[in-house]
C-alpha cells in the first residue's frame, strides 16, 4: 500500500513509519522538522519537508501518490503552548487535519485515515478510573479540544464522504527517540538530565499519576488495526495502570545513576491533572491488542537508548542509534 505518515520524523511517527516499511508498504513522510529529526527517518521512506497547514503542498502530494492510508501524527503537542496560544494550536491541529481530509476526499479511494489522538487530554478530570471510550469528554486545554474536534470531523467525513477512520487515544507514550527537550514526556526529560549528572525537578509532591505505555505497543496497535478492523472506531491505547512521578524517578535514577541522584521537588504546575488512566478493553476485544511491555522493562530499554546516544556523541536530538524497539509489529 501507499502510506502517508505525517510527523514521520518524530518520536512515535518514525516508529510507525518503520513498521509500515517492514510490512512492505511504500511510505511518504511529511514533516516540518519542528520537533522531529532527520536522524529518525527510515532511509527507505520518501521524505517531504513541509507542513500539514500548507494546503497546496498537501493536495499536490495526494495527487502525485494516490495514498491508500494516511497515518496522521503531525501535531502541535504542547498542552501549555495550546493554552498560551489557542489560535496557533487550532491552525496546526485542526486546520492541518482538515487539509489532509479534504485532500483525501478529493483524491477518493482512501482505505483508512489513522489519527494519533489523546487519552488524558480528551477526558479531562475523570469521573471514574480507568476511563473507557464512553467516558465523558471534557478537555481542559485547547490541545484536548482540538484532538476531540478532529475525531468529530473524522466522524463527519466517514458519514458524508465514506472515509473510514481509526483514532487512537494514547495515554503517556514513552520509549526510544522521545525528545528530552521542551515540554516533552517526563521519562525522556528525567533520563537526559540524570545521564548528564543534572538534578531533575519533580513538579509538586510527585503523587500525580499517569498511564505510561511503551511506544512499541503503540505501534503494534496501528498494525493490528490494518489487519483486524473493519469499519471505523476509536480506541484507548493504554495500560490501565497508574504510576506516579516519584516512582518513575526512582526507577530511572536506579537505571542511570544507581540511585545516587535523589528526588527533588519544585512547585506544582497549575491546572495539572492529579490522576489519569485509561482502560484498553475495547482495543483488546476488537483488535486483540493489549500492552506487552512492562513499565520497568520499557524504561530500561529507553535508558539504554539514551546511553547509546550519549556514547555516540549525539547532539541531544532523537536518533536511530541502537537496536529496533521491542514489540514493534504484530
> Which residues lie closer than 8 Å to 213 by C-beta, 6 or more apart?
170, 171, 172, 173, 174, 237, 238, 239, 291
Grid cell 501507499 is found at 2
Cis ω before 130 (30° cut-off from 0): yes
Residue 151 CB neighbours (<10 A):
19
For residues 113 and 168, the answer to whether their CB atoms sit within 8 Å is no
Select which of 143, 165, 170, 174 is catalytic. Answer: 143
For residues 209 and 277, the answer to whether their CB atoms sit within 8 Å is yes
Closest of 7, 5, 2, 34 to residue 17, by C-alpha? 5
Q: Is 143 a catalytic residue?
A: yes
Phi, psi of 28, deg, nearest 5? -110, 130
Closest of 68, 52, 65 to residue 112, by C-alpha? 68
Residue 199 CB neighbours (<10 A):
11
| Residues known to be catalytic | 143
Amino acid at each position: 500500500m501507499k502510506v502517508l505518515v505525517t510527523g514521520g520524523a518524530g518520536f512515535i511517527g518514525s516508529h510507525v513509519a518503520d513498521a509500515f516499511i517492514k510490512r512492505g508498504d511504500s511510505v511518504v513522510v511529511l514533516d516540518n522538522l519542528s520537533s522531529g529529526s532527520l536522524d529518525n527517518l527510515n532511509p527507505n521512506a520518501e521524505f517531504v519537508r513541509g507542513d500539514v497547514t500548507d494546503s497546496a503542498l498537501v493536495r499536490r502530494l495526494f495527487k502525485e501518490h494516490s495514498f491508500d492510508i494516511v497515518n496522521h501524527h503531525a501535531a502541535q503537542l504542547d498542552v501549555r503552548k495550546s493554552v498560551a496560544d489557542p489560535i496557533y494550536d487550532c491552525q496546526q491541529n485542526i486546520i492541518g487535519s482538515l487539509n489532509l481530509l479534504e485532500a483525501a476526499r478529493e483524491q477518493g479511494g482512501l482505505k483508512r485515515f489513522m489519527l494519533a489522538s489523546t487519552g488524558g487530554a480528551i477526558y479531562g478530570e475523570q469521573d471514574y478510573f480507568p476511563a473507557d471510550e464512553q467516558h465523558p469528554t471534557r478537555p481542559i486545554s485547547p490541545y484536548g479540544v482540538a484532538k476531540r474536534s478532529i475525531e468529530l470531523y473524522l466522524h463527519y467525513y466517514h458519514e458524508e464522504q465514506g472515509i473510514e477512520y481509526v483514532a487512537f487515544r494514547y495515554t503517556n507514550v514513552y520509549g526510544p527517540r522521545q525528545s528530552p527537550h521542551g515540554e516533552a514526556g517526563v521519562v525522556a526529560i528525567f533520563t537526559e538530565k540524570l545521564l548528564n549528572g543534572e538534578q531533575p525537578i519533580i513538579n509538586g509532591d510527585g503523587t500525580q499519576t499517569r498511564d505510561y505505555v511503551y511506544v512499541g505497543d503503540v505501534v503494534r496497535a496501528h498494525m493490528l488495526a490494518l489487519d483486524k478492523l473493519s469499519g471505523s472506531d476509536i480506541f484507548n491505547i493504554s495500560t490501565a495502570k497508574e504510576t506516579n512521578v516519584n516512582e518513575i524517578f526512582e526507577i530511572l535514577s536506579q537505571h542511570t545513576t544507581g540511585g545516587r541522584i535523589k528526588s527533588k521537588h519544585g512547585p506544582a504546575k497549575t491546572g495539572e491533572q492529579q490522576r489519569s488512566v485509561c482502560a484498553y478493553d475495547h482495543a483488546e476485544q476488537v483488535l486483540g491488542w493489549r500492552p506487552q511491555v512492562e513499565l520497568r522493562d520499557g524504561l530500561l530499554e529507553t535508558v539504554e537508548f539514551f546511553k547509546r546516544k550519549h556514547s555516540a556523541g549525539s547532539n541531544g536530538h532523537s536518533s536511530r542509534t541502537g537496536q529496533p524497539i521491542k514489540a514493534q509489529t504484530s
